[in-house]
Structure 1
């Protein structure tokens, strides 16, 4: 799916992380990439993250059930006030994964996943705010979106173990989204969506925004893992001081330098962040190819015109080191690339489907990288193409 009318530059300038925007059906031809029954089926599978949220108007109570859900649970729900949420549906349904492509003007490492919701009339998840940007694509049915003010960690929340619902929500704007419409909501903006039709599908493309505490914590953990126990503070020029209780400025300076010297290594941080940010959302899922293939077999597939596809569950990005050298990051691993391999790596990060030039197919280094990524499940062939 592609847009027919959407000004990317104007959006980034005027709205991205600034204010909400309702985008009226910008698609060439909108159609739902998923049926409600298929979404319900996913929520019943082991390993798929899902939630069922029900709301009772009589007492204002919210209830959350985590998947996998029993198949007969949906027969018990009735026709109103419930919502099914399934995370990372793009990992399992290529047609849902394709919804991300028009938003590739945002860097790969910022994209999280596509959550899909189905709501009966009156269904929703309550007034809340997110810590990340989100594009809310309306599918089947209609949903009323109400937009409130800016929120932060000090905003009052209702007491609930599983939901972060705002205690005080006042709407300043309201829209009814029709099929194909897109609502963009920046981080920290209060919003609430309620299904106004009997069936309502919404596709939420979410983006990652690492917290400072998260970056410092995980980066420090990675550094500590490689540190040696004998890397310690020394003071060979120590002089006697009047009061032994004082921690002298020169000691603080030396200790501070010990820490900053490691934290300030930009190249080491860049490599770590590339690996960290490309780690799959669900790293315990095994996507490896069921049948092993060697370089010659994969080269034959490519030469026959079969395109490579990125696994929708995999993450790809790169860091440029020079005009001829980059580091490719795929699923938490790094691959130094030069020459033809660097050319291939840039193509790989920029496209979801890749058909290679014969020069790249003949490169043993390129094919070795393709074979490695294919075996680990990051690249796949659709031999029916």
Structure 2
């Protein structure tokens, strides 16, 4: 892809929209409309069917869908939306690779939409960064001003549609074009012609409220109810109605001290951002494997592959030490195991180094991840 990440991050990331024409010369659409419809019919796959009815209102049906739903769409414009397609289709997951200059923990998923002529989901805004890749057909994107929680919305139970959308820019995207939108920008995408497919690579960002609530709840679970305010050096007060500054300082310190442990926060945050959004694709073996079995498989060679629905990340704690986070679980690593963990986080698939079999710590780590369904050893064939 002809794209300079440094310039993009400096000039556009979370600042302004950016249109990238013909990002992939010789672009090949990685998924057919029929394959997308098939995914939408599967249990455990989040999908939605949005129709603009004859009365110009919006109708939404949540999946799993069926052939009957598609047969009933009629002549009105409609859009099919399927979440986390990268978890199920390797060629769609490959679309993430050019965007790895952004940390993996920020990646949400790849949503794929298919729309009939005139189909869309209405003018709206999102609270995340997104790259909109045109895969098939054409789509007209109109982009407006930045919005926030005060922006008026139309009444609707499920769709957050803007009450007053005023576009300021407009582009028609062809296959292989990309439109980047920062959080909050009003936008509306409408299919121009039939067979319009768009791949939306979204990047999640926790809100301050989510972080404060989650971290505080975690800390509360660890606190001892006997750890209470005390004032053994209390002296007679002039006015019993006054809450003294000294008491406020002590109360404030009790709260901030409990929340200020950065090492504990790092461990909690690593688990938070690697917790999968959707259920893992079931890679866990029916019968738990033992370290000796893993060692034998490593000696035989092959590939160590990550479950596409799993989330991997690490926090470095020293020159040769780190904590590996996988699907919300923490694994302390050092030395050769830490180097292995870094490789595992950097690649969705690794050619097995038979030297791993000689490290009981690496074998134990792979064994634990394999039994949880986060990784699997496969043949290179």
Give the structure-2-normalised TM-score: 0.96
* Residue number among 357, 362, 380 corresponding to 1:366 in the alignment: 362
Match of 2:149 in 1: 153
Match of 1:23 in 2: 20
Q: Displacement, 1:284? A: 7.4
The alignment yields a C-alpha RMSD, in angstroms, of 1.5
Taking the aligned partners of 2:230 and 2:280, their CA distance within structure 1 comes to 43
Taking the aligned partners of 1:16 and 1:148, their CA distance within structure 2 comes to 17
Match of 1:82 in 2: 78
Match of 1:14 in 2: 11
Q: Is 1:315 the counterpart of 2:311 in the alignment?
A: yes
Q: Displacement, 1:79? A: 4.8
**SS of residue matched to 2:219:** helix
Match of 1:354 in 2: 350
Q: Displacement, 1:297? A: 3.3
Q: Displacement, 1:39? A: 1.2
Query: Where does structure 2 lack aligned partners over 5 or more consecutive residues?
Result: none
* Residue number among 179, 187, 191 corresponding to 1:191 in the alignment: 187
* Residue number among 144, 166, 171 corresponding to 2:167 in the alignment: 171
For these two proteins, the number of residue pairs brought into alignment is 381
* Residue number among 34, 47, 51 corresponding to 2:48 in the alignment: 51
**Which stretch shows the higher mean deviation, 323-332 or 80-89?**
80-89
Deviation track 1:351-372 (CA, whole Å, cap 9, x = no partner) reads: 1111243333321111110111
**For residues 364 and 284 of structure 1, do their structure 2 counterparts lie closer, same or farther at Cα, with a shift above 3 Å needed?**
closer
Match of 1:222 in 2: 218
* Residue number among 301, 309, 324 corresponding to 1:328 in the alignment: 324
Q: Is 1:115 the counterpart of 2:111 in the alignment?
A: yes
**Would you say the 8 A contact 1:340–1:360 is kept in 2?**
no
Taking the aligned partners of 1:362 and 1:79, their CA distance within structure 2 comes to 64
Match of 1:71 in 2: 67
**Would you say the 8 A contact 1:302–1:355 is kept in 2?**
no
Taking the aligned partners of 1:300 and 1:284, their CA distance within structure 2 comes to 26
**Would you say the 8 A contact 1:79–1:198 is kept in 2?**
no
Q: Displacement, 1:48? A: 1.2
Q: Displacement, 1:179? A: 0.8
**Which stretch shows the higher mean deviation, 292-301 or 46-55?**
292-301
Q: Displacement, 1:283? A: 4.3
Deviation track 1:280-337 (CA, whole Å, cap 9, x = no partner) reads: 1124765423454333433343344411111110000000000010000000000000
Taking the aligned partners of 1:8 and 1:332, their CA distance within structure 2 comes to 29
Taking the aligned partners of 1:63 and 1:279, their CA distance within structure 2 comes to 32
**Would you say the 8 A contact 2:283–2:375 is kept in 1?**
no
